[in-house]
Amino acid sequence: MPLRAKYGQEDISAFDYDQKSWDSLKSIYKKMGLLMPCCNAKAIPKTSKLGNHYFSHSVKGDCTSVAESQEHLYVKGLVAKTAKKSGWDVKTEWYGIAPSGEQWVADVYCQKGNAQVAIEIQLSRQTKAETLSRQNRYKQSGVRCAWIASKTVFDCNYIHSNKETPFFLISKPVVGEIPTLDSFNVSLVSFVDSLLSGNLSWTEEPWIHSIQYIEDQCWKCKKENKQVFGYFIDWYESRAMTVPNASTVLSEITNIVNNEDLKSLGLNSIGEFGKLKGNAPNFPFCNICLYCGAPQNNYYLMEKLKFNSETKSVEYQSKNQFTGKWLLNENP
């Protein structure tokens, strides 16, 4: 059930009408020759029992457009109206074709200059694969798509917050009641306005690992060095427990921080020494003295750890791992 009808070369939108002008449209529409955007059948302006304004097929014929719930119609109208107020050209049920030849129909399509935004209202179940494929179709077409979905149908694990697929949950939609976005503590109207006014942005923060070490002395050059033996991030901790396991943990640390950065933190670097006495066979990773380059075997490291209760840690800000989230600008 579209909110849009074709009127000659123009479009008319139900959300532009108040009760009075809608009633007067109803009295003159026959002379206007309004057509449905889906199939060019004759369109009739109607008012649902719940008060939604929409256009209906005079004869549905073989049109394949799917019926929508009253809630969907209501939320779509609300979003379209808000988008228009925010200064965008807005069309509902807008048809486009991706370069692949696949067609898309946007619930709410907004355009301003070169910017194209689609807002999809998703109140019924949809597989994640379908969502991502529709998202991709928009992307290929140069359209940025955001999803407004009902939290009674989707949860926050459906699509994790990410920049590629902005997916936002609203409270249970009820016709006539403006839904809210709990995670932003705002109404849908205010949210859509922020989204289309550049006041919603994706921000990323680097992961911060703490690298654990003990203060020691190199067996070879006798200088004070810092032997790395573990790390933690938030609640997760991984530290050397046995001689073979020390190699595994140190290997994990090489995935977090490179030797150059370990050195700049004043820590030993980490290297592989397959045949080193004191390392377990097939567990080659161990500390390397940052001053003389001598390997510090893991048997030695574990012995040191047994008798050294004073373990320390230093924070390391990741250069390639980030946590991101959508943030609303509080003072638009």
- Between 141 and 227, CB nearer to Zn ion: 227
Asked if 3 touches Zn ion (CB under 5 A), the answer is no
- Taking CB under 5 A as the rule, does residue 292 contact Zn ion? yes
Which of 134, 13, 11 lies closest to 79 in space, CA to CA? 13
The first and second tokens of residue 62, run together, are: 């073989």
Q: How far is CA 48 from CA 175, 228, 327, in A?
A: 11, 69, 37
- 289 binds Zn ion, rule: CB under 5 A: yes
Smallest distance from Zn ion to CB 326, Å: 35
Within 10 angstroms of residue 40's Cβ, the number of other Cβ atoms is 11
Pairing of strands 144-150, 167-170: parallel
DSSP single-letter state for residue 242: S
Residue 266 binds Zn ion (CB under 5 A): no
Residue with smaller CB distance to Zn ion, 73 or 83: 73
Q: Which is nearer to Zn ion, 5 or 143 (CB)?
A: 5
Q: For residues 78 and 145, what is the distance between their CA atoms, to the nearest angstrom?
A: 17
* Closer CB to Zn ion, 28 or 59, in the complex: 59
Shortest Cβ 255–Zn ion spacing (Å): 25
Strand locations in the chain, DSSP E? Answer: 4-7, 10-13, 43-47, 53-57, 89-97, 103-112, 115-122, 144-150, 167-170, 180-181, 186-187, 200-217, 224-233, 236-239, 269-272, 285-288, 295-296, 312-328
> Taking CB under 5 A as the rule, does residue 241 contact Zn ion?
no
Applying CB under 5 A, does 208 fall inside the site for Zn ion? no
Q: Which of residues 108-147 bind Zn ion (CB under 5 A)?
A: none
- 119-152: b or e for each residue (b if 16 or more CB lie within 10 Å)? bbbbbeebeeeebeebbbbbeebebebbbbbbbe
User: What's the closest the beta carbon of residue 45 comes to Zn ion, in angstroms?
Assistant: 15
Position among 47, 48, 65, 161 found at the interface with Zn ion (CB under 5 A): 65
Q: Which is nearer to Zn ion, 38 or 243 (CB)?
A: 38
Exactly one of 7, 207, 291, 299 binds Zn ion (CB under 5 A); which one? 291
What's the closest the beta carbon of residue 81 comes to Zn ion, in angstroms? 23
Buried b (16+ CB within 10 A) or exposed e, 168-182: bbbbebebeebbbbe
Minimum Å distance from CB 57 to Zn ion?
5
Name the pairing type of β-strands 167-170 and 180-181.
Answer: unpaired
Per-residue binder mask for Zn ion (CB under 5 A), 25-54, x = binder:
-----------x-xx---------------
Listed ranges 14-22, 215-223, 233-241, 266-274: which one lies at the site for Zn ion (CB under 5 A): 215-223
Segment contacting Zn ion (CB under 5 A): 67-75, 103-111, 219-227, 297-305? 219-227
User: Does residue number 286 form part of the binding site for Zn ion (CB under 5 A)?
Assistant: no
When asked if residue 221 is in the footprint of Zn ion (CB under 5 A), the reply is yes
CB atoms within 10 A of CB 301: 25
Residues lying near Zn ion in the complex (CB under 5 A) are found at 36, 38-39, 63, 65, 218, 220-221, 289, 291-292, 294
